[in-house]
């Protein structure tokens, strides 16, 4: 679920705050019900400045030199990985790719490196015992999205180098999401071991082959090694985080999500059971489409912006004090006009200020209709009363909102308002995930980013979702996904990772990326 | 728009009445607004019995004998017509078919028979001056629906005879909708003229080639000949009206209709303007899907069965006294269980009785969602906030409700409830049409049906729509669409018209159908 699409979005969205408490909204013209969406104040003027964290001062010149010396071979490793298709949705190349990953880990020097069977595609658990004080888990995904080869300018599994306005890029499915940065990290490990004989931290590699499917069986992998995993100090997900300007946003959390289909069908409560009927029969036949529309409408204010489900906001948590400086930092660097243009919008919900809108983004749950369909949707006119109507609905959950509880609140709401005929089909659900800016892992990552360029913008949370709760909630570990480097096109055609930036570029190429990983491991070890 | 699909529906639906006045409906859980849908009482115990109209007693044996003698040639005329494709939606064979119709009319003896250019496909106006007292307009449509040849058991334009459980049928596109019955009528004219040298009434044939497109240019044809048309005594649309049991429903009216698309898009009022955005951004971006859902929901009670648009029921007319015996007749022959089974429903709206439901069907307007679509409607999950959402909505209008006025009420409702961001795209609209059971034309048709079998069930109105207002409202003429004979599959594959029924069948074959038309013309002339 972590993709460069999301990355692009947060590159334009993650920036501000609000200051009103308890704004009241009147529902409907006739109904005089007062409903509140939580509004929060900023309680501090302090601005978080990542630049105040000293840049990492360690220098591992021999290792850097080994990287430079072996860069062509390192690049060949990336190419070898992207040339091996591993499309989880189509079970294409999974066995070959998971074997390649395991074999690479063994070759690098991991004493343990085993396939982990699951009810889906297998995972990998590998352990490198450096006899060190600290242990880091590296999360990896070895699967990729499907491809439409006809949309690509090069074959998506050829691993070709292509000239790009930013420099020479590797263009292939998986180049940046996530084979490129992951194999770059393994290259870094090779160079560290080659020069020093070991690693500065003990390393667990935990890989799954179903990230692009929503990680349905990742908890099985976690469960099997839970005790060993919980003894670690943090989780790192290597990620090409730079944008075209070289800037980095470091995001410390994600919202949870529930995703469901709501469906209305004919039945004892009325409506045609098995087939559509002629539209004129609406005169005496109940319409499942009207039922779905009414059920949905009962869940929000007429503007669609405030949730009317009893209890939905009850467990929303106010921003912790720790977030205030981060929010102020985001606001300080926000360009509202540019953001609205990138999003293609002319106002924020309810005509809010950017500060208010950003507080909604960070701290409030959403209720969103991803899709809706029923009946005739073609050209011109056709008069039918459809027997079934369906909507895809998702709700983003900030910390404190439990997926099962929220799903139950929706069911209760529908029943209470007379919509027990509406079926809910849950499709996925997991809670939010949060890591503290004060964790050693985050501080180490920031210090390394500061060494290589502009300090990152550090933001409390992404409005989107990823199942990182397995790390932060099940394993109780801090988790960070970052890294220098640039990529694009994660789920589309012509996916790239920048390898050799043009002269004077502010973006890291493969060599710098690997050196950054070298530094992060050492920084975490206090070396 | 008049099709055998509709025919099938009215074969199971057109039957009953209600007796409550002013039932009150409470809207919503919180809103205490009281809204009424009109309810009407049956004010008479009288039951209309079509059998009380004496069966037509005329016998035109020489003409019948001419039909029997020439039946093979008459059938060949039907085959010649169905072998000529005339798919209006694809402009396939239109020129050839309209020419064939005109040439056939000239050959039969119409002194006038001319093509009528329109902004779409041409029509035909033809006149046979019999020097008679009465003048009848025969409405014809020469176009047919598209075909999916792979779904057919014979090529759809081969005009083949096929053995069927009811007898020998002509299986082809247009066989029953409407080339078969129309050419059968022309065969009847040929035989009458051949035996008597003229016709018992003056005859105007008025044909269009866009019925399957919703008759968009038919008013242009009407307008050109309006004075001559208004001088006629009535309009006849030859129609295979029998069901498999040989029974006939004769319907005296149709509801009007407005059909529109409602659309919500991002704009200055909020929401993404040109493209979807990530679903997580619902936190601070307005959703056009929510807006459409809320706008639709504002228009009906939560059950979707009572319209909340101010004034929508104001001009609904109570049943005229003339309808009461017809309603009682419908109810007397109604089989509720069979009807519900055919419709695939387990209750009528609001848990009404069949009598109440039928009053809704006959006298109340509807508001129906024919289709709705937005965003992602594929498998599994995709999290987007769509920038556009669309619904197809139709409203059936009983007599007294003007299409333009009702469209304006919907616009006013949306604006008044804060939904001025919702666009309405009108797609078609015309008023209801009604003919009196007491008209000479209807009485003549009933008397002829009574001669050939069981008296018809006569019903005030179809809940569906056809643009017959051009005859009853613009030309101020009675209009009847009926005839003995059987067909099926009007808009689907394997369309048929029964030609040679099996021994002992209660359904008319081609010869009887033509004799029935001979009788209707004579009955209207009082001969």
Torsion of CA A356, A362, A366, A370, to 10 degrees: 110
- Mean pLDDT for all residues in chain A: 92
Confidence of residue B36 (pLDDT cuts 50, 70, 90): confident
Q: Please, what is the average pLDDT of chain B?
A: 92
Contact A385 B370 (CB under 8 A): yes
Distance from CA of A68 to the nearest CA of B (A): 39
Q: Do the domain assignments include residue A127?
A: yes
pLDDT of residue A34: 67
Structural domain boundaries, residue B416: 4-48+255-430
Residues A367-418 pLDDT 10s:
999 999 999 999 888 899 999 999 999 999 999 999 999 999 999 999 999 9
Partners of A416 on chain B (C-beta within 8 Å) are: 29
One domain, residues B92 and B24: no
A343 and B305 within 8 Å at the Cβ level: the answer is no
Whether A4 is covered by a domain: the verdict is no
The answer on pLDDT for B310 being more than 50 is yes
What b/e sequence results for B127-140 when a residue is b if at least 16 CB atoms lie within 10 Å of its CB, and e otherwise? Answer: bbebebebbbbbbb
pLDDT band at A10 (very low <50, low <70, confident <90, very high): very low
Least confident of A6-10, B127-131, B280-284, B511-515: A6-10
Tens of pLDDT along B350-381?
999 999 999 999 999 999 999 999 999 998 88
The residue among B383, B400, B430 that closes a domain is B430
Q: Is residue A1 part of a domain?
A: no
CA terminus-to-terminus distance, chain A: 33
Look at residue B34 in the predicted model and tell me its pLDDT.
Answer: 66
Question: Sign of dihedral through CA atoms B320, B325, B327, B328?
Answer: positive
Using a CB-CB cut-off of 8 Å, the residues of chain A touching B29 are 416-418
B282 min Cα distance to partner chain A (Å): 6
Of A42, A53, A472, which Cα lies nearest the Cα of A254? A472
Q: pLDDT category, B9, cuts 50, 70, 90?
A: very low
With CA atoms as reference, the chain A residue closest to B254 would be: A280
* pLDDT for the residue A5: 30
pLDDT exceeds cutoff 70 at B301: yes
Residue A333's pLDDT is what? 84
Cα distances from A54 to residues A57, A422, A451, A518, in angstroms, run: 8, 56, 8, 17
Element (H, E) at A391: strand A388-397
Check whether B422 has a pLDDT greater than 90: yes
Residue B24, pLDDT score: 37
Angle, vertex CA B3, rays to CA B105 and CA B457, nearest 5: 100
Hey, are the CB atoms on A369 and B304 less than 8 Å from each other?
Answer: no
Q: Residues B220, B244: one domain? A: yes
Grouping H, G, I as helix, E, B as strand and the rest as coil, residue B488 is strand
Identify from A339, A371, A374 which residue to disrupt to test chain B contact, counting B C-beta atoms within 10 A and taking the largest count: A371
Same domain, B326 and B179: no
In the predicted model, is pLDDT for residue B38 greater than 70? yes
Whether the bond into B178 is cis, omega within 30 of 0: yes
Residue B16 has pLDDT above 60, yes or no: no
Question: Which CATH number belongs to the domain containing residue A231 in this structure?
Answer: 3.40.630.10
Examine the pLDDT at B6 and tell me if it is beyond 60.
Answer: no
* A384 and A441 housed in the same domain: no
Do A86 and A232 reside in the same domain of the chain?
yes
Contacts with B375 from chain A: Cβ below 8 Å: 369-372, 392
At residue A215, the pLDDT reads 87
Work out the average pLDDT over A179-192: 98
A443 occurs within a structural domain: yes
User: Radius of gyration (Cα) for chain A, nearest Å?
Assistant: 25
Looking at the predicted structure, is the pLDDT value of residue A25 above 50? no
Task: Return the residue of B nearest to A304 by Cα.
Answer: B290
Query: How many angstroms separate the CA atoms of B256 and B398, rounded?
Result: 6
Average pLDDT over residues A436-457: 96
Supply the pLDDT for residue B380: 85
Model's pTM, two decimal places? 0.87
pLDDT of residue B7 exceeding 80: no
Mean pLDDT of all residues in B399-411: 98
pLDDT digits (tens, 9 = 90+) for B220-233: 999 999 999 999 99
Q: Which of A177-191, B29-43, B144-158 has the lowest mean pLDDT?
A: B29-43
Whether residue B26 has pLDDT greater than 80: no
Q: Identify which of B522, B504, B496, B525 has the alpha carbon closest to the alpha carbon of residue B181.
A: B496
Do A331 and A238 have their domain in common?
A: no
The H-or-E segment that residue A180 falls in is helix A179-196
Residues in B touching A306 (Cβ below 8 Å): none
Place of tokens 């015992």: A129
Give the best residue of A14, A266, A306, A345 to mutate against chain B (max B CB count within 10 A).
A345
**C-alpha span between B82 and B170 (Å, rounded):** 9
Judged by CB atoms closer than 8 Å, whether chains meet at A302 and B417 is answered as yes
Whether residue B398 is found in the same domain as residue B487: no
Residue A16: is its pLDDT beyond 70?
no
How far is Cα A471 from Cα A95, in angstroms, rounded to an integer?
26
Cβ-nearest to A13 among B255, B257, B281: B281
Say how many residues make up chain B: 527
Distance from the Cα of B162 to chain A's closest Cα (Å) equals 29
Neighbouring-strand partners of residue B137: B204, B235
- In-domain check, residue A296: yes
pLDDT confidence of residue A398: 98
Place of tokens 């809670």: A431
Whether A290 and A396 share a structural domain: yes
- For an interface test with A, which of B40, B90, B299, B368 has the most A Cβ atoms less than 10 Å from its Cβ? B368
- Region A210-229: mean pLDDT is 93
Is A287 a member of any domain? yes
**Per-residue confidence (pLDDT) for residue A134, from 0 to 100:** 97
Residue A61 forms part of a structural domain: yes
Nearest to A344 among B268, B274, B418 (CB): B274
**Residue A23: is its pLDDT beyond 70?**
no
pLDDT at residue A399, as a whole number:
97
Pairing of strands B135-141, B202-208: parallel
Predicted confidence (pLDDT) per residue in A314-341, tens digit = 999 999 999 999 999 998 888 999 999 9
Q: Which candidate from A302, A384, A464 shows the least CB-CB separation from B280?
A: A464
Phi–psi pair at A434, nearest 5 degrees: -145, 140
Angle between helices A354-363 and A323-332 (to 10 degrees): 140
Q: What is the mean pLDDT of residues B148-158?
A: 95
CATH at B16: 3.30.70.360
Q: Which residue, of B430, B452, B468, is where some domain finishes?
A: B430
Spacing of C-alpha B194 from chain mean position: 34
If asked whether residues A405 and A421 sit together in one domain, one would say yes
Q: Considering only CB atoms, which chain A residues are within 8 Å of B277?
A: 9, 343-345
Query: What pLDDT, on the 0 to 100 scale, is given for residue A14?
Result: 27
Same domain, A190 and A166: yes
Tokens for B1, please give them: 């728009």
The model's confidence at residue A6, banded by pLDDT at 50, 70 and 90, is very low
Q: How many domains does chain A have?
A: 2
Residue B14 has pLDDT above 60, yes or no: no
Residues A217, A119 contacting (CB under 8 angstroms): yes
Residue of B nearest to A270 (CA): B347
Q: Name the minimum distance, in Å, from the CA of B7 to any CA of chain A.
A: 11
Is A5 within a domain?
Answer: no
Tokens of A280: 């004129």
Closest residue on chain B to A31 (Cα): B31
> CA B138, B143, B147, B152: dihedral to nearest 10 degrees?
40
Residues A35 and A55 placed together within one structural domain of the fold: no
% of residues, chain A, pLDDT over 90:
87
The answer to whether residues A310 and A410 belong to one domain is yes
Q: Which domain-ending residue is among B402, B430, B458?
A: B430
Mean pLDDT, residues A436-443: 96
State yes or no: pLDDT of B424 exceeds 50. yes
Does pLDDT of B176 surpass 80?
Answer: yes
- Checking if the pLDDT of A500 tops 70, the result is yes
Share of chain A above pLDDT 70, in %: 94
Which residues, in sequence order, are CB contacts of B328 under 8 Å at separation 6+?
Answer: B17, B42, B44, B45, B46, B47, B48
């Amino acid at each position: 679920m972590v993709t460069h699409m999301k990355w692009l979005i947060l590159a334009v969205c993650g920036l501000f705050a609000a200051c009103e408490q308890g704004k009241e909204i009147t529902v409907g013209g006739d109904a005089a019900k007062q409903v509140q969406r939580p509004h929060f104040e900023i309680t501090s003027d302090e601005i978080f400045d990542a630049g105040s964290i000293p840049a990492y001062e360690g220098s591992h010149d021999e290792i850097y030199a080994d990287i430079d010396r072996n860069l062509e071979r390192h690049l060949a490793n990336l190419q070898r990985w992207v040339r091996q298709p591993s499309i989880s949705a189509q079970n294409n190349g999974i066995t070959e790719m998971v074997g390649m990953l395991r074999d690479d880990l063994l070759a690098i020097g991991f004493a343990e490196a085993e396939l982990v069977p699951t009810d889906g595609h297998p995972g990998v658990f590998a352990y490198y015992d450096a006899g060190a004080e600290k242990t880091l888990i590296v999360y990896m995904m070895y699967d990729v999205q499907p491809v439409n080869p006809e949309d690509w300018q090069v074959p998506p599994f050829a691993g070709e180098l292509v000239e790009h306005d930013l420099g020479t890029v590797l263009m292939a499915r998986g180049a940046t999401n996530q084979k490129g940065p992951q194999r770059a990290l393994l290259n870094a490990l090779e160079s560290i071991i080659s020069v020093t004989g070991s690693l500065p931290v003990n390393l667990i590699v935990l890989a799954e082959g179903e990230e692009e499917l929503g990680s349905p069986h990742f908890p099985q992998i976690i469960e099997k090694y839970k005790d060993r995993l919980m003894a670690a100090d943090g989780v790192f997900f290597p990620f090409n985080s730079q944008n075209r300007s070289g800037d980095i946003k470091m995001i410390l959390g994600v919202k949870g999500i529930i995703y469901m289909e709501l469906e209305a069908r004919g039945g004892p409560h009325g409506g045609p059971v098995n087939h559509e009927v002629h539209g004129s029969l609406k005169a005496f036949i109940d319409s499942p489409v009207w039922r779905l529309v009414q059920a949905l409408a009962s869940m929000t204010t007429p503007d669609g912006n405030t949730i009317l489900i009893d209890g939905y906001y009850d467990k929303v948590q106010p921003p912790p004090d720790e977030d205030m400086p981060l929010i102020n930092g985001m606001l300080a660097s926000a360009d509202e006009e540019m953001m609205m243009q990138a999003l293609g919008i002319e106002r924020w919900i309810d005509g809010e200020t950017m500060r208010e809108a950003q507080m909604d983004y960070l701290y409030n749950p959403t209720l969103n209709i991803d899709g809706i369909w029923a009946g005739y949707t073609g050209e011109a006119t056709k008069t039918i009363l459809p027997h079934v109507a369906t909507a895809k609905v998702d709700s983003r959950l900030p910390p404190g909102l439990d997926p099962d509880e929220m799903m139950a609140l929706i069911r209760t709401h529908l029943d209470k308002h007379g919509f027990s005929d509406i079926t809910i089909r849950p499709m996925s659900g997991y809670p939010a995930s949060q890591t503290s800016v004060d964790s050693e892992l985050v501080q180490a990552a920031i210090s390394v980013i500061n060494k290589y360029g502009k300090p990152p913008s550090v933001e409390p949370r992404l409005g989107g979702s990823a199942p990182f709760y397995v790390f932060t909630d099940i394993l109780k570990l801090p988790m960070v996904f970052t890294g220098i480097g640039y990529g694009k096109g994660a789920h589309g055609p012509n996916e790239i990772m920048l390898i050799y930036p043009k002269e004077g570029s502010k973006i890291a190429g493969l060599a710098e990326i690997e050196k950054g990983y070298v530094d992060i491991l050492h920084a975490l070890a206090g070396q």
